[in-house]
Amino acid sequence: MANDSGEKPETKMLDELEKGPWPSFVKEIKSAGQTSASAQDLLRQLELSYQEKKGHWKHGGLVGVLGYGGGVIGRYSDAGDQFPKVAQFHTLRVNQPAGWFYTSDAIRTLCDIWERHGSGLTNMHGSTGDLILLGTGTAELEPTFQELAQAGFDLGGSGSAFRTPSCCVGMARCEWACYDAMKLCYDLTMAYQDEMHRPPFPYKFKVKCAACPNDCVAAIARADLSIIGTWKDEIQVDESAVNEYASAGLNLQKDVCDLCPSKCMAWDGHKLSIENHECVRCMHCINVMPKALRPGKERGAVIMIGGKAPIMQGALLSSVLVPFVPAEELMDTLKELIRRIWDFWDEYGNNRERVGELIQRVGLPVFLDGIGLDPVPEMVSAPRDNPYIYFQVAKDGEK
Amino acid sequence: MPLFEVEGRSYEVDEDGFLQEPERWNREVAKDFAATEAIADLTEEHWKIIHYIRNYYLEFGIAPMIRKLCKETGHKLNEIYKLFPSGPAKGACKLAGLPKPTGCV
């Protein structure tokens, strides 16, 4: 698209945001503005917003493609007369490949499609996980969607839907992966196409798959259903490698044992001993000594529920729902669990109430009863710190 | 405010094409808007959903939740999408003359 006026946007205030050593979105939009008139109008409108200290995007907007109830977020400018190229500036969410792996051909194809139909501006990736295509008019939505579909891409979720699941790079690049997060993410995406494209719920429902407790996708903080890899047995220790770390100057006492949150490790100068039953899977020791320590051999995931960022109510971290599911049983367990959770939430959730908020409102025992799960000690947040719950070491022969 | 014009009749609509004068709604209005939502003919099934949404809105001042809509009309969600290709919020609510439903992106 050519610039109608032929003049460069005046961006005195925005120019300030180009200074400094860090990346700048202004620089990127200016670069897109060399070939895209809407990127130029975007700069002009943003400059005005900075001058007036006032946003110019209207609230809401309801646009979409036929057959889908989500995937497009309507954006309208309230200064469309001044900046006609951003009067309509809708966003498309494109379902990302699991682990965000693309061939360069795929990225070129996507960018070519977007330069033909939109502003050319992308956001790879948005906090939802999707590939975000920023800025186009209503008339371009359907043609863009058709071309994306031809290229093998689909729209993601938006609104009160099962949102596009996302995952860490998992087994593709990471030796700590306790289950195949990319496969699970893909399988979940395919299993819940209906719920993703046709929003059926009281509010959004997000699933994120992290393959180990490092939780690189921040599933625990951002997903209603967090699936976080873990292990059931003992941390694998390579003693000679531990000693190599020590002789190379690592202070095991100070930098490993003292920083263990449950103080489950001891270092006597020769041998690292770990009280595995006290381990809370924080990953610190493994992160510090990746050559010496590895997650255990009996691997799987913990399923947690209720995480969310603050919108209607405050932020919540996920709580444990199922303490351990073996890797090979994950998909079957999740399908059954998700069905029960959705049934309960659909029945009792208020409009715009996340499942975590519902659990807070009715109480975890009622929720567990509703979905047919028995309570277990792992569900108690910070069990060792809670004075109302008394733990006793089991005597011999007792369960 | 944009105008939606069809066969000599014109309606004030918002930028997404939702009727801005709810008191003007009648069956003719719904028929006029059907063409904008890729619906060739309004069948009894369409009317059942439109009337349910309309009555709910007149009683409570908001659009019904999806679950309630499905339950009360006896339609599964994907059936509603077959009737209204752009979905219950954009398609059915527009034909029922509701203002644009608010939701979260």
Domain coordinates of chain A in residue numbers? 12-52, 72-150, 166-230+304-385, 236-294
Q: What is the CATH number of domain B3-95?
A: 1.10.10.370
- Residues A267-319 have pLDDT tens digits of 999 999 999 999 999 999 999 999 999 999 999 999 999 999 988 788 999 99
Q: Catalytic residues of B, which ones?
A: 104
Burial of A108 from C-beta contacts in 10 A (0-12 / 13-18 / 19+)? exposed
Q: What is the CATH number of domain A72-150?
A: 3.30.70.2500
Give ∠ CA A83-A87-A88 in degrees, rounded to 5.
Answer: 145
Least confident stretch, A54-63, A193-202, A259-268, A274-283: A54-63
pTM of the predicted structure, to 2 decimals: 0.92
Return mean pLDDT, chain A. Answer: 93
Among candidates B38, B66, B104 on the partner chain, residue whose Cβ is nearest the Cβ of A66: B38
Dist CA A190 CA A183 (whole Å): 11
ipTM for the complex shown = 0.92
More confident residue, A167 or A313: A167
Q: For residue A162, list its beta bridge partners.
A: A205
Dist CA A1 CA A125 (whole Å): 24
User: A72-150 and A236-294 share one CATH topology?
Assistant: yes
Q: How far is B34 from chain A (nearest CA, A)?
A: 14
- In chain A, whose CA is at the least distance from the CA of B76? A200
Among candidates A64, A91, A352 on the partner chain, residue whose Cβ is nearest the Cβ of B90: A64
CB A192, CB A337: distance < 8 Å: no
pLDDT mean over A336-350: 96
**Cβ pairs A/B, distance under 8 A:** 66
CATH number of A166-230+304-385: 3.30.413.10, 3.90.550.10, 3.30.2030.30, 1.10.10.10?
Answer: 3.30.413.10
Chain B residues with CB inside 8 Å of A158's CB? 105
Domain coordinates of chain B in residue numbers? 3-95
A159 touching B (Cβ < 8 Å): yes
End-to-end CA distance of chain A: 71
A342 touching B (Cβ < 8 Å): no
- In chain A, whose CA is at the least distance from the CA of B94? A62
pLDDT mean over A199-210: 96
Q: Using 50, 70 and 90 to split pLDDT, how confident is the model at A388? A: low
Q: Which of B70, B79, B80, B105 to mutate to test the interface with A (most CBs of A within 10 A)?
A: B105
- Residues B31-81 have pLDDT tens digits of 999 989 999 999 999 999 999 999 999 999 999 999 999 999 999 999 999
In percent, the amount of chain A with pLDDT more than 70 equals 95
pLDDT recorded at residue A380: 78
A352 touching B (Cβ < 8 Å): yes
pLDDT mean over A62-90: 96
Query: In CATH, what is the architecture of A236-294?
Result: 2-Layer Sandwich (3.30)
- In chain A, whose CA is at the least distance from the CA of B39? A66
pLDDT recorded at residue A4: 54
